[in-house]
Structure 1
Amino acid sequence: MLKRLSVISAVLIACASFSTGAWADSDGQDLPTVKRQLPQYTADGQLLLPKNFHQWIYVGSPLTPNALNGGKANFPEYHNVYIEPGSYAIYKKTGEFPEGTIFVKELQLTTPQQFPDGSRNEPSGRGLFPGKFNGADVTVKDSKRFAATDGWGYFNFNHFEPKAKMAKVKAKEECAYCHIASAKKDDVWTQFYRLLDDDGHLNPNYKPETQ
């Protein structure tokens, strides 16, 4: 009987230790080592669309629908943003995006509107709801390769489906200039993603237009 109790106690202690370790990892202070998935390029410098990005760390989905922007929003879709897990682990530990960081922004249209503001009724209530996928954009940090665009390369894999398998880097005036001017940290819009920026403050240098 005593032997059996000793075995049970040992199991309980082991379980408690495992639980404590799991919680220590979850606060971002003692993250485990994660194998990184680095960007891959063709011989002529095109970026290959990262594989299995839906399994990466999801950080958020900003939305600027056409109905709220005079029918002419620059980015009318949901921007479902994912960061490569190894890069995220390093960022949470150091506060810096490491070389080779990859962000995938998958574009997703809203469902057809029923009201002028773009909303519709669904069982959960009236609102905006995600519809069909509509292409993707990818951003890669490489200070040497993309020195002309402040260390980040920007790629579009179509604004429709199916997504392209590879893409050429965009010129500075197409993407980088806006990130450089208005994104909060290291040309990344961390102000919109609480997993990347938990202080809740927007870029102090950005002054939105008044309506």
Structure 2
Amino acid sequence: MRRIPTARLALSAVLILGAAAHDAWADPAKSAPSPIYGVTIPDGYRKWQAIAPAEEAAPLDELRLVLGNAAAIKAIESSTLPYPDGTILVKLAYKRKQSPDIGSATVPGTPTTVQVMVKDSRRYASTGGWGFGRFINGQPVDAAQHQTCFACHAAHVKDRDYVFTRFAP
């Protein structure tokens, strides 16, 4: 039996609880499509399975949780590359804050963004098969910010089908 380090397990639990408490500002029914890609916040994403937590250092200083739809979970668990069309990954990001109950614990604070990646190799052929959406208060950020998505993924994780996230067992 594999042991999961206590700190990772605690961070995962905190992020999952934070995802459940994510504010209504990320309501997909109120979301406009992202510029360039036309990606929206998917219905029901908060009930998807957690793939991995992440922590972003300063200046962002965020806790993040990546969720995946069924296609994403199946592909990431079996290390399938490239990801199949229909894969959707959603990253929830929160400002870090100290727990008011346990001073040594870091917990999710204010939600900052919902980021979405959608795999459709035909529609997004020019960006490695992926469409991107970044949302603040449930609304997409401007086109200039969306233009940076693929460039960053291509520069760092082209060999993993442009996906940063790795499955956290």
What range is the shorter-chain TM-score in? 0.5 to 0.7
- Mapped to 1, the partners of 2:67 and 2:102 lie a distance apart of 26
- Mapped to 2, the partners of 1:166 and 1:49 lie a distance apart of 13
Secondary structure at the residue paired with 2:54? Answer: coil
Bigger radius of gyration among the two: 1
Q: Which residue of 2 aligns with 1:170?
A: 146
- Mapped to 2, the partners of 1:134 and 1:84 lie a distance apart of 21
Paired residue for 2:44, among 41, 52, 64?
52
Q: TM-score, normalised by structure 2?
A: 0.64
The number of residues matched between the two structures is 133
1:103 maps to amino acid = L
Distance 1:167 1:106, change over 3 A: farther
Residues 64 and 78 of structure 1 are in contact (CA less than 8 Å); yes or no, is this contact kept in structure 2? yes
Please list the CA deviations of residues 52-89 of structure 1 after superposition, one character each: whole Å capped at 9, or x if unmatched: 111101112211232xxxxxx2x432221101123322
Distance 1:150 1:131, change over 3 A: same
Please list the CA deviations of residues 145-200 of structure 1 after superposition, one character each: whole Å capped at 9, or x if unmatched: 11221211111112xx3x128997922xx111221121251111134x424xxxxx
Distance 1:47 1:186, change over 3 A: same
Considering fraction of residues, name the structure with more strand. Answer: 2
Secondary structure at the residue paired with 2:104? Answer: strand
- Mapped to 2, the partners of 1:177 and 1:144 lie a distance apart of 19
- Mapped to 1, the partners of 2:116 and 2:61 lie a distance apart of 17
Q: Which residue of 2 aligns with 1:194?
A: 168
- Mapped to 2, the partners of 1:146 and 1:65 lie a distance apart of 30
Q: Which residue of 1 aligns with 2:88?
A: 102
Identity %: 24
Q: Which residue of 2 aligns with 1:87?
A: 72
Residues 98 and 141 of structure 1 are in contact (CA less than 8 Å); yes or no, is this contact kept in structure 2? yes
Paired residue for 2:153, among 170, 176, 179?
179
- Mapped to 2, the partners of 1:144 and 1:175 lie a distance apart of 18
- Mapped to 1, the partners of 2:46 and 2:74 lie a distance apart of 17
Structure 1: gaps of 5 or more residues: 1-40, 67-72, 112-119, 196-211
- Mapped to 2, the partners of 1:139 and 1:56 lie a distance apart of 14
- Mapped to 1, the partners of 2:87 and 2:39 lie a distance apart of 13
Structure 2: gaps of 5 or more residues: 1-32
Considering fraction of residues, name the structure with more helix. Answer: 2
Residues 132 and 149 of structure 2 are in contact (CA less than 8 Å); yes or no, is this contact kept in structure 1? yes
Distance 1:165 1:51, change over 3 A: farther
